Amino acid sequence: MIADNLKSVKRRISKAARQAGRNPDSIQLVAVSKQVSSENIITAYKAGAKYFGENKIQEAADKIDDVNLRDVGWHFIGHLQKNKIKYLDSKFDLIHSVDSLSLAEKISSYCESQDIIQLVLLQVNISGEESKFGMLPSELIAQLSVFAKLKGIRIKGLMTIPPKDPNPENSRKYFSELRLLRDRCQSLNLNGIELNELSMGMTGDYEVAIEEGATIVRIGTAIFGFR
Ligand SMILES: *Cc1c(COP(=O)(O)O)cnc(C)c1O
């Protein structure tokens, strides 16, 4: 089941990439394993999943120890409370969900004290929905030069979650807006910031996200089934 699902997701990623004139290898698949058992994670790993995404920091930390696989990358994709930063403990290859300057500052100073540099993405609330975490585009642009000076993190790109919608075409404008925002940030030419990564696209809309330039897709349901 999981192995077949993974194969079919990978095939669809490759097809969407080729149709958009992109190299399929330029798109990283993060298998979102929140609420998934260690056993099923290991099944996905054996079927070829290399990166896993978790959204609850303590659950993730326990699972990473329990699964205990060396050559996989763990990504953190959930809202991180400032009092839980110590759980990061250099376990994550990438944090997708840095959603405020104050959180970035806290992560950075923690990582500096540990003598590590944490790779992160900045989460943007492109749709402006009240209920969503993430910075508004105007906030991001205004604060980017301050982010760029933080020594304990390295900013690799942007992440967004569009409004829930059964029609993937309705996500397209949010994905293209994230890409345009990224281009605009890059044109500021700030030292200490690279914005090559665009983390966007989930089970319902990852092909559209790839057409709009996603470099990382975060897919749970299509691989592990309904949570
Ligand atoms: C759960 C989750 C996903 C995966 O969603 P699916 O629809 O199951 O693919 C992706 N990104 C984030 C931030 C999530 O919380």
Looking at the DSSP bridge assignments, the partners of residue 94 are 75
Question: Residue type for 29, please?
Answer: L
DSSP string, 200-226: ---TTTHHHHHHTT-SEEEESHHHH--
Residue 75: which of 59, 54, 57 has the closest Cα? 54
Residue 63 Cα distances to 29, 36, 69, angstroms: 19, 10, 10
Indicate which atom in ligand 1 lies nearest the CA of residue 203: 9
73-94 tens-digit pLDDT: 999 999 999 999 988 887 999 9
CA 107 to ligand 1 centroid distance, Å: 23
CA 188 to ligand 1 centroid distance, Å: 31
pLDDT at 70: 87
Atom 14 of ligand 1, residue of closest alpha carbon:
77
In the chain, where are the structural domains located? 2-224
pLDDT at 215: 98
Rounded Cα gap, residues 104 and 122, in angstroms = 9
Residue 206: which of 81, 1, 24, 36 has the closest Cα? 24
Q: How many CA atoms lie within 13 A of 43 on its CB side?
A: 15
pLDDT band at 192 (very low <50, low <70, confident <90, very high): confident
pLDDT at 118: 96
According to the CATH classification, is domain 2-224 in 3.20.20.10? yes
Atom 12 of ligand 1, residue of closest alpha carbon:
77
Question: Residue type for 111, please?
Answer: C
Indicate which atom in ligand 1 lies nearest the CA of residue 206: 9
CA 85 to ligand 1 centroid distance, Å: 21
pLDDT band at 202 (very low <50, low <70, confident <90, very high): very high
Rounded Cα gap, residues 58 and 193, in angstroms = 29
pLDDT at 113 over 90: yes
Map residue 110 onto helix, strand or coil: helix
Q: At what angle do helices 137-148 and 172-186 cross, to 10 degrees?
A: 40
Indicate which atom in ligand 1 lies nearest the CA of residue 30: 10
pLDDT at 90: 79
Pocket of ligand 1 (CB under 6 A): 32, 34, 55, 77, 161, 202-204, 218-222
Atom 13 of ligand 1, residue of closest alpha carbon:
77
Do the Cβ atoms of 163 and 129 come closer than 8 Å?
A: yes
Residue 170 Cα distances to 153, 197, 222, angstroms: 33, 22, 19
Rounded Cα gap, residues 95 and 122, in angstroms = 9
Pocket test of ligand 1: the residue of 6, 40, 54, 55 to mutate, having most ligand atoms within 8 Å of its CB, is 55
168-187 tens-digit pLDDT: 999 999 999 999 999 999 99
Atom 6 of ligand 1, residue of closest alpha carbon:
220
Indicate which atom in ligand 1 lies nearest the CA of residue 227: 8
Mean pLDDT of the region 98-123: 97
Rounded Cα gap, residues 111 and 162, in angstroms = 30
- Average pLDDT over the chain reads 96
Indicate which atom in ligand 1 lies nearest the CA of residue 77: 13
7-65 tens-digit pLDDT: 999 999 999 999 999 999 999 999 999 999 999 999 999 999 999 999 999 999 999 99
| Least-confidence region, from 69-73, 155-159, 160-164 | 69-73
Rounded Cα gap, residues 9 and 209, in angstroms = 14
pLDDT at 102: 97
